[in-house]
Copies of this chain bind each other. A is one copy, B any other.
Amino acid sequence: MTFNLTGKSKKSLARTGVLKTGHGLIRTPFFMPIATRSSVKTLTAAEIKKLGGQIVLSNTYHLYLRPGLAVINQAGGLHKFMAWSGPLLTDSGGFQVFSLKDKNAGQKSLVKVSGRGVEFKSVYDGSKHLFTPKKVLEIQQVIGSDIRMVLDVCSPAKCSKVLAEHDLEITLKWAKASSKYKATGNFLLFGIVQGALYQDLRLKSVEKLCRMNFDGYAIGGLAVGESPKEMYQVLDYTVPALPKDKPRYLMGVGYPEQIVAAVKRGIDMFDCVIPTREARHGRLYVRNSKLEIQNLKFYKTVNIKSEKFKKDNSAINAVSKFLELRNYSKAYLRHLFSVGEPLALRLATLNNLEFYLDLMREIRTAIKDGKL
């Protein structure tokens, strides 16, 4: 078995497990720091390890365009290229094809979806490309990721049922095609559940995907504009329909309390840009307490650029495992942000990822201790 459940909460659907990959074991539930362009912003691989990062997520769309497959292939795959010896997950690139199109209004009509695949223009140079279910798996084969995602269509959160159904049909068609291309290499291939906020579509999606027997199942099309309550509702009816013995991945989620809520609903895997993106804007995640996971008041965020930190000589995080977060003060970090010093981004990113990865470890412990 690639996935072994090691524990199950009696209070919720939360569970702990060990996922076996070609580059080592991962304890679930886990959070994946995002290395969109093969680098977790400002940090080194050694720092990701020290943070407790077990697996990093990188981006098929971006890697395919920059540096391109020839460079990655010649380096011997992405692990070697980015000097990361642990597991890697790559998305299919589909999400970027659909989300990046809006960056340039004129390009919107240029994303052409067909049963065959999706045609799009590069955000880098406007060159035209076609992603098919087969193509994105071939790209991920060159990348050499340990967990790979199929191509899918991510419907907008509040879309009509007609559109959601249409997108789902294509997604399922592509999933079927992808399942045929599953090579015999040492990697896990995940299907992606779509269906927007429609219960019957989500359940249909689950049912059809399960017949294709993927190594794991992702839930896509969430955290795209719906309310947390709507998201939890989707999880409430979708997760129980998924096979118990396969890992479950909630894509792109989310805030700490959402992660806790999703773990309680049986999710094993997470990725999100929030900790790194908010670090760029000077928003720091701070723990209030150790064991209030239950009441969701276990953390707060602060805007370190605020005037109130101007003379705050207390440590960025006095209990951090990183010397720099213990030694540098909030006043200093505020100053670095105010004059645009690049060390600011590094310290804030380290702070937020440490928060997220410590939280995941605490979640795993809490499940084992029967507290979640």
Contacts and interface: CB of A to CB of B under 8 A. Distances in A.
Interface of A: 37-39, 41-46, 62, 66-67, 70-71, 74-76, 80-83, 310-311, 313, 323-324, 327-329, 331-332, 334-336, 338-339, 341-343, 345-346
Contacts of A42: 42, 342-343, 346
7 contacts: A41-B342, A42-B346, A43-B343, A62-B339, A81-B335, A82-B332, A83-B332
B323 A37 contact: no
Contacts of A62: 339
Contacts of A335: 37-38, 66-67, 71, 81
A28 to B, nearest CB: 28
A224 B100 CA distance: 46
Given A38-B332, A313-B75, A329-B75, A67 B342 contact: no
A209 B310 CA distance: 40
Copies of this chain present in the complex amount to: 2
5 pairs of A and B residues whose beta carbons are closest in the complex: A83-B327, A67-B335, A39-B341, A74-B311, A37-B339
A67 B310 contact: yes
A311 B70 contact: yes
Contacts of A327: 45, 83
A257 B26 CA distance: 51
Nearest to A334: B67
A99 to B, nearest CB: 18
A339 B323 CA distance: 30
A60 B198 CA distance: 62
Contacts of A332: 38, 75, 81-83
Contact of A46 (B70, B80, B311, B324): B324
A128 to B, nearest CB: 20
Contacts of A76: 313
A342 B342 contact: yes
A344 to B, nearest CB: 8
Contacts of A341: 37, 39, 41
B71 A311 contact: yes
Contacts of A339: 37, 62, 66
B46 A331 contact: no
A18 B273 CA distance: 50
A327 B84 CA distance: 9
Nearest to A327: B83
Contacts of A75: 311, 313, 329, 331-332
A74 B273 CA distance: 36
User: Which residue among A70, A311, A343 has the maximum number of chain B CB atoms within 10 Å of its CB?
Assistant: A343
Contacts of A46: 323-324
A227 B247 CA distance: 67
B39 A331 contact: no
A329 B45 CA distance: 13
Nearest to A344: B39
Nearest to A80: B313
